[in-house]
Structure 1
Amino acid sequence: MQTRLVTATTLVATLAATLAPIPAQAATPVRPSTAEHGWVTSTLRHMSLEQKVGQLFSTYVYGGDATGPTAADRAANLAAFGVETPAEVIERYHLGGVCYFSWSHNLDSPRQIAALSNGLQRAALGDGAKGRVPLLISTDQEQGTVLRMPSPAAQFPGAMALGAARSPRAARTSADVTGRELRAVGIRQPYAPIADVNVNAGNPVIGVRSFGADPTLVADLTAAQVTGFQDDARVTAVAKHFPGHGDTATDSHTGLPVINHSRAEWDRIDAPPFRRAIKAGVESIMTAHIVIPALDPSGDPATLSPTILTGVLRGELGFRGVIVTDALNMAGVRAKYGDERVPVLALKAGADQLLMPPDLALARDAVLRAVASGELTERRIDESVRRILGMKYRQGLARSPLVDVEEAVRTVGAPEHLAAVTRVTDPTLTAVRNDAGVLPLPRADRSVLVTGWDSAAFAPVATVAAGFTARGARATARPATLPSDTVIAAAATQAAAHDLTVVLVNKAWDTTVTDPRATQQRLVAALLATGKPVVVVAVRDPYDIAYLPGVTTYLATYSYTRAAMDTLVRALHGELSPSGRLPVTIPTAEGTGSVLYPYGHGLSW
């Protein structure tokens, strides 16, 4: 079939249909119910100052079992926290929350995760004495390129892919299913959705984690996911990263970004998604370790800025929920003040939850000393603890903190959830270029080389090769992640002996990182030089094509999950027609502001 460009008229009509308002959304209660007020007040009354301060902190713990971690995890806990088991960390510090990660060995299987959550909750509640509070367990389950729950959990496309599909309903479905699976294993606070508007193609930390470059689209999909998480799945949505991390050229993990938007630009670009999230009733908002002089000329990162958190977020935007900091072990928040001052300054700025300080004991003791000296009042601590307790109550943790392990096993990866993944993923694929008319491919007995960037966790190269094999081709999988010159030469030799090459690229534009990403550019150039047909697929940022001269066939999947690769293979063979449209502008590589492909561009066949 002949390739056709999605016209501007079609785009406008489709946008009008897909961005239609979703069903009414409940706002965060202005006043708590009588039952909530009673539980929060009673619980707070029986808490010591140390217990209250503990509620402010959420951090990682090492191990997949609350009381019986491995020897290596015991040693890691001892080094970080002075005790050996996750349960002992909870008890020693009266923690209000725990954040799960793969690297801290918390996430293995639905059964294990649910059992760990129950063990941690029992440690938090102890003997049930008054003043003991259930934990709020969290994780970064944005989906796409940032997800923590391993298979068989439903692995949806990430935010920018959803932006390409332009469907609030699909965004809501993704949040709903994701939230249900998290809740089943005891996780009540996914750190999602991303409300950042990615207007900087060189953004090293947000990129495809954002829904796109249009504030209205990002606002619509952010609100849809808030509804999916909270109203449908009954977990706490976290809109991040306030006041907007989308126009940074510095990664706040390694430095302190400065955004030079004027106040008018901030109101027009960065604020709308957060305003919509608040209107949709978002329970929690995460801060960004960024400086925006137009909002606060002090040079303090937003996480530590009373002007931004108390003045803008609470005062101007009217947010009444829980403000959680981004991780306090990131360089962006540590650049100006010492680790002992950061948690105190964050609370003085208006934050409630303090996430992952680099030294938990130091941070906790600093807050206690600040109360003792009068720099912070116990009343100020109580304000944050009340918000946190109220959020826990609304999540049902006061009534039922434990989960049914067998139900968790049945829920995570349920067939209907995996079917929803396919439905949501299919409309996200974006065909950007098909000048030579190579696509769609007929099923044929041809030799195909699949090479390029790969992931041990998802194996996209092998997944695509298997898809070709299933359709009658003789496919060879040759992963070449950041390849050496020797690997590039060998891949080119192999490509010359095949009828077709499919090459996957991941942030090929970014040559500023330690790994020389330009090797991906050289790999693509070598494959093109064979003269054989080459299909280039960006499995992360769609911007790569600007740095790959000579490419005539190019698609963007925005993520490398198995579902995304399955959708890709089916589209390559004409089994579905690509319908995704760029949710960002792709600029030329020269940095002059020229546009290579405009917002809304997309091909279909």
Structure 2
Amino acid sequence: MTIEECIAQMLVPHHPFENPQTHFESVTNATADDWLRLLDKIPLGGICIRKPPSDELKLELEKIQNHSQIPVIVGSNIELGSSSPARIMNENTPGTEVLDYASYSPSMMAFAAANDPDLTYETCRFIAEQRRSYGYHWTFNPVADLNLNFRNPITNIRSLGDDTETVLTHAAAFIRGFQDGGVMAATAKHFPGDGTDERDQHLLTTSNHLNLNDWYQTYGLVWRTVIDSGVSAIMCGHIAFPAYEQQIPDSNHTLPATLSKNLQVKLLREELGFQGVVISDASPMTGLTSRVKASDRAIENILAGTDMCLLPETIKDYGFIKNAVHEGRISEEIIRDATKRILELKARLTLHKDPFSASPAQSSQGNAKRTINTVSDKSITLLRRGNPEPRKLKGDENVLFVNVFSKGPFSNSNLEPLANSFRNEGCSVELLENPTDMELRENLPNFHSVFVNVCHVPMSGSFDQIGAGFGQTLWRIAHMFHDNVAYTCFGTPYVLAELPHVPNMLLSYGASVPAQEAVAKVYLGKLEPKGMLPVKEPDISWQNILR
């Protein structure tokens, strides 16, 4: 391979355009022909797909693979329970649909709450087999971070909790589920570990604040476990680790891992022994872009030890890297060593033989759905047992849903599956969304039972666990006259930190369809909530606040 071909292997863009009109357009509207035009200029090593699986997407990926001399590894951020469930049209049986297991699944934290690593493994195995059949090869997961700061806006229910043993156990099960049999590659993220800061690396470089001893006993154990589990790749975050850097003379302890040779080479490769592919977190994030000029971004990333740059400015960065090699800033040895690791990963996935695989059998699809439903049932957690407790519905009641949600790209207030579960038992269900004080006063007396549904997951740039106005609305409900008010949080496990006054709270760790159906089973008297809370409730006592 020429050095230019090797450089191309190190780039993983998520769109093929040089000057996209908008981010949304570039991600959703790119066609196979658009990708082929880019591949003719730069024979990419990988691409990042942000579309759900479909027969149309599979045909596009087939065109891309047939066009490429070296198979393109197709990566995707397959985060469990991260979106509304997608249904895949089945081309072999017109008119029928297949459930997309990944979006149907509950969140990562729900798996920790269910506390059954075998279920984590089985679910991931089903997802990997399904996604590989559509041409996906690589998931940028699991999130292996510890949720040590309840105000962190990134980890929350994307993580497996704050207990080291729980996190490493389920992260290892996730990795085995995706990777057994060479079906897909998994990526543990975000090295050296997110979850101690309360800021967001989409906006700035964040930090892992732990001292060395505490880090080795927590994050260090997790990273050793995922490496011992054979994880194919590790994603470095735009996260600094001052305690490690400060022990090395003349080091810059504020550098994110994506720019730190000390963290990527000394700690990750030499000390922890990782020999797989190192991929950066997304290059456009301000945690990286604020630290280095655009023309040096990919260069400094590679010099720090990165094998693959995620979401680069493809044409520009390819040129910058090529010039840096020709000028001697980056040695050919660095480029070829990275390329070797990338090609070894592709070989383990047998992409040179078949970038796809047979679709899972129909019986497998039924087993997958049952497994996912079991996880959801086992995860539902009684966060606060109230006085009085909300009584079980009789099945013929007039019910009001008060859905309180933050308006943003990650909010999900679609609770129709929950409402339909009640309706199927004979209940009449009406709903209010983010109601005013007057709407509450007018409506509350007209219903047998009131269900207050908090729909909020802190993500990417949000700092509050509960959005503006949430507390005021829920305070009014809690202190108005009604005998049967039940509170459910479809999201953050830290809801009581900002709503300490509510008398009861059920927790589902997200609003996936099976999570909503499991909540309905609890209120209909068909299920006892036995989920294990995977995080410590934050100490919000006045004594702690005044320290």
Structure 2 residue 121 is matched with structure 1 residue 172: yes
Cα RMSD for the two superposed structures: 3.0
Spell out, residue by residue over 1:355-386, the C-alpha distance to the aligned partner (whole angstroms, 9 max, x if none): 002x2222111111110111111121010000
Give the equivalent residue in structure 1 for 2:137: 188
Letter in 2 for 1:431: L
CA shift in 2, pair 1:291/1:100, >3 Å: same
**1:191 CA displacement:** 1.0
Letter in 1 for 2:373: T
2:470 to 510, 520, 523: 520
CA shift in 2, pair 1:181/1:84, >3 Å: closer
1:330 to 243, 266, 285: 285
Letter in 2 for 1:325: S
CA shift in 2, pair 1:244/1:515, >3 Å: closer
Give the equivalent residue in structure 1 for 2:515: 564
1:344 to 283, 288, 299: 299
Letter in 1 for 2:206: P
Give the equivalent residue in structure 2 for 1:118: 62
Percentage identity across aligned positions?
24
Distance in structure 1 (CA, Å) of the matches to 2:441 and 2:16: 44
Normalising to structure 1: TM-score of the pair?
0.80
Spell out, residue by residue over 1:287-342, the C-alpha distance to the aligned partner (whole angstroms, 9 max, x if none): 11011111224121011111000000001100000001110110101121112212
1:201 to 150, 162, 166: 150
Q: Which segment drifts farther, 226-235 or 170-179?
A: 226-235
Q: Tell whether the 8 Å contact from 1:489 to 1:526 is kept in structure 2 after alignment.
A: no
Give the equivalent residue in structure 2 for 1:472: 426
1:143 to 80, 88, 95: 80
Structure 2 residue 330 is matched with structure 1 residue 376: yes
2:100 to 153, 157, 164: 153
Q: Tell whether the 8 Å contact from 1:505 to 1:539 is kept in structure 2 after alignment.
A: yes
3-state SS of paired residue (1:524): helix
**1:174 CA displacement:** 2.0
Q: Which segment drifts farther, 438-447 or 514-523?
A: 514-523
Spell out, residue by residue over 1:555-577, the C-alpha distance to the aligned partner (whole angstroms, 9 max, x if none): 11111101100011001122111
Structure 2 residue 272 is matched with structure 1 residue 317: yes
Distance in structure 2 (CA, Å) of the matches to 1:459 and 1:181: 28
Letter in 1 for 2:512: T
Distance in structure 1 (CA, Å) of the matches to 2:195 and 2:264: 18
Alignment of 1:35-114 (within 5 A): 47-61=1-15, 85-101=34-50, 106-107=51-52, 110-114=54-58
**1:197 CA displacement:** 0.6
Q: Tell whether the 8 Å contact from 1:158 to 1:208 is kept in structure 2 after alignment.
A: yes
CA shift in 2, pair 1:492/1:221, >3 Å: farther
Distance in structure 1 (CA, Å) of the matches to 2:413 and 2:456: 17
CA shift in 2, pair 1:230/1:75, >3 Å: closer
Runs of 5+ unmatched residues, structure 2 = 89-98, 247-251
Give the equivalent residue in structure 1 for 2:96: none
Normalising to structure 2: TM-score of the pair?
0.88
Distance in structure 2 (CA, Å) of the matches to 1:589 and 1:212: 19
CA shift in 2, pair 1:171/1:591, >3 Å: farther
3-state SS of paired residue (1:542): coil
Distance in structure 2 (CA, Å) of the matches to 1:389 and 1:433: 51
3-state SS of paired residue (2:207): coil
**1:110 CA displacement:** 2.4
**1:285 CA displacement:** 0.6
Give the equivalent residue in structure 2 for 1:32: none
3-state SS of paired residue (2:106): coil
Letter in 2 for 1:362: K
Give the equivalent residue in structure 2 for 1:396: 350
Spell out, residue by residue over 1:433-488, the C-alpha distance to the aligned partner (whole angstroms, 9 max, x if none): 1222434504232111112146999664222111111112111133x2xx3xx645
Distance in structure 2 (CA, Å) of the matches to 1:62 and 1:593: 52
CA shift in 2, pair 1:145/1:584, >3 Å: same
3-state SS of paired residue (2:75): strand
Q: Tell whether the 8 Å contact from 1:508 to 1:518 is kept in structure 2 after alignment.
A: no
**1:190 CA displacement:** 0.9
Distance in structure 1 (CA, Å) of the matches to 2:132 and 2:513: 23
3-state SS of paired residue (1:525): helix
CA shift in 2, pair 1:315/1:147, >3 Å: farther
Alignment of 1:279-318 (within 5 A): 279-297=228-246, 298=252, 299-318=254-273
Give the equivalent residue in structure 1 for 2:368: 417
Q: Which segment drifts farther, 542-551 or 134-143?
A: 542-551
Give the equivalent residue in structure 2 for 1:134: 71
3-state SS of paired residue (1:277): helix
Q: Tell whether the 8 Å contact from 2:457 to 2:465 is kept in structure 1 after alignment.
A: no
Distance in structure 2 (CA, Å) of the matches to 1:190 and 1:61: 17
Distance in structure 1 (CA, Å) of the matches to 2:135 and 2:310: 19
Q: Number of aligned pairs?
A: 518
3-state SS of paired residue (1:504): strand
Runs of 5+ unmatched residues, structure 1 = 1-46, 64-70, 126-131, 595-605
Q: Tell whether the 8 Å contact from 1:141 to 1:147 is kept in structure 2 after alignment.
A: no
CA shift in 2, pair 1:387/1:570, >3 Å: same
3-state SS of paired residue (2:190): strand
Spell out, residue by residue over 1:366-411, the C-alpha distance to the aligned partner (whole angstroms, 9 max, x if none): 111110111111121010000000000110101112456xx37x67
